[in-house]
Amino acid sequence: MRHNQTPPSVFRFRFYLKLCFAGILAAWLAPLAGAQGTASQGKEVNVRLGIDNFETMSAGPLRNKRVGLITNQTGVDSRGRRTIDILIKKEGIKLVAIFSPEHGIEGRADAAVGNSTDQETRLPIYSLYGENRRPTDAQLKGINVLMFDVQDAGTRFYTYITTMAYCMEEAAKHGITFVVLDRPNPLGGDVIEGPMLDRERTSFVGYFPMPVRYGMTMGELAQMFNGENHIGADLHIIKLANWKRSMTYEQTGLKWIPPSPNLRTLNAVFLYPGVELLQAGGVSVGRGTDAPFEVIGAPWIQGAELAAEMNRRAVPGVKFQMTTFTPDDGVYKGEHCQGLAMTVVDQAGLDPVRLGLEFAEALSRLYPKQFQVEKINELLGSQATMERLKREEAPARIVESWQEDIGHFRRFRQRYLLYF
């Protein structure tokens, strides 16, 4: 006979307490269900972030809870105050640990990051892009609530999505409440583009089968992951106010803070879902230059030749101009490259994933020995699309082949949307 077992009555009591806490927390968050609000016609829109709304709330059911915060340099309120500092001063809760995603707490690193200490609060910062990609049992010991406040890029292979999902999985495993402080999708919430990720290709750069550009906020994604992957997290979203699905980041009234070293401008953010695909094929996408994701090139590209080819294709929403550059980092570091600079002239008309395919098809035709087209599938994540591209189908026709899956995803995601 085993000794020192927990009596069944104690298990029932713990389960009852957990249900009570979940109910109290849901009631505490209920006023935010209608917090989306509306903007006065003709006036500048000022979107309120999840952290803005959290600042005005009492500690409520989080009172006396020990909190771990997943964040980086983008974790600030609309006045620029760090979420870390807001939580450390929040009456009734105790911030005890910080977790940082890829690129580190300051968003400057382009390599693995180690653990460190926050200079202002002296709290430990545990890296989720170093030895571990998810919080460890030891790091979560004593934590009652995990909060997530990180700005995303609106693209499936941007790793902050997976970091959030991994943290949700660990929260569920340890019985920890998970709270997302929501932020806008910088690409907007209406447009969905790109092929569905093949289910067998899920990875750290593709957590869930969905299109490249999915048009959801992190809070909405968290709900979808929790429901569809049966994570079972005690999940709560602190919503945005005054954000509509049709908005891009420029329309929010919020200052853009680069979420990583190379997404410096909103022009780059809109190009990123397609341009980033090309690097795996052997092309510089501007890392190590003043305009990452706004230029592409290689030592073997003839700039005038590629410019003529891309202009002939008349890709909607973007203009091309021949350029030269010598990157000081990344692919072809220190080598003179010829290529193209890109300017987004119509965000609404731009399909960045089609742009990536147009480039891939053009580079394959012009430089078949140098450009390794199959390798772009590391991020594209669709073997059917890759086969079409290898057969030299027109990218516009390939885009058409995605529409049935996109329509299905649009209907499927509806149950998880928080904003309209």
Q: How does DSSP assign 193-234, residue by residue?
A: BSPPPPGGG-BTTB-SS--SB----HHHHHHHHHHHTT---E
The two structure tokens encoding residue 159: 């790793």
Give SS3 for 22.
Answer: helix
Look at residue 29 in the predicted model and tell me its pLDDT.
Answer: 64
Look at residue 187 in the predicted model and tell me its pLDDT.
Answer: 97
Separation in Å, CA 366 to CA 79, 275, 335, 360, 363: 49, 18, 20, 10, 5
Would you tell me the crossing angle of helices 352-366 and 303-313 to the nearest 10 degrees?
130
Is the distance from CB of 194 to CB of 252 less than 8 angstroms?
no
**Strands annotated E in 249-381:** 295-298, 318-325, 337-344
Question: Which one, of 243, 219, 245, 246, lies nearest residue 233 by Cα?
Answer: 219
Residue ranges, comma separated, of all CATH 3.90.1150.140 domains in the chain are: 266-381
Amino acid present at 399: V
Q: With left for phi above 0 and alpha for psi between -120 and 50, is residue 284 left, alpha or beta?
A: beta
Residues 258-274 as b or e (16 or more Cβ within 10 Å = b): bbbbbbbebbbbbbbbb
Q: How far apart are CA 73 and CA 71, in angstroms?
A: 7
pLDDT tens, residue order, the chain (420 aa): 333 444 545 444 444 555 555 555 655 665 554 444 433 333 455 899 999 999 999 888 889 999 999 999 999 999 999 999 999 999 999 999 999 999 999 999 999 999 999 999 999 999 999 999 999 999 999 999 999 999 999 999 999 999 999 999 999 999 999 999 999 999 999 999 999 999 999 999 999 999 999 999 999 999 999 999 999 999 999 999 999 999 999 999 999 999 999 999 999 999 999 999 999 999 999 999 999 999 999 999 999 999 999 999 999 999 999 999 999 999 999 999 999 999 999 999 999 999 999 999 999 999 999 999 999 999 999 999 999 999 999 999 999 999 999 999 999 999 999 999
Look at residue 41 in the predicted model and tell me its pLDDT.
Answer: 39
CA-CA-CA-CA torsion sign (65, 71, 38, 235): negative
User: Is domain 266-381 in CATH 3.90.1150.140, yes or no?
Assistant: yes
Look at residue 13 in the predicted model and tell me its pLDDT.
Answer: 46
Q: How far apart are the first and last CA of the chain?
A: 58
Separation in Å, CA 83 to CA 62, 149, 181: 16, 8, 10
pTM, rounded to two decimals: 0.91
- Count other Cβ atoms within 10 Å, centred on residue 143: 19
Give SS3 for 159.
Answer: coil
Residue ranges, comma separated, of all CATH 3.40.50.12170 domains in the chain are: 8-259+411-416
Look at residue 251 in the predicted model and tell me its pLDDT.
Answer: 94
Look at residue 32 in the predicted model and tell me its pLDDT.
Answer: 53
The two structure tokens encoding residue 149: 């406040």
Look at residue 186 in the predicted model and tell me its pLDDT.
Answer: 97
Question: Which one, of 133, 146, 169, 152, lies nearest residue 75 by Cα?
Answer: 152
Length of the chain: 420
**Burial of residue 87, with CB atoms counted within 10 A of its CB: 0-12 exposed, 13-18 middle, 19 or more buried:** buried
Separation in Å, CA 98 to CA 53, 84, 95, 156, 376: 21, 8, 8, 25, 34
User: Is domain 8-259+411-416 in CATH 3.40.50.12170, yes or no?
Assistant: yes
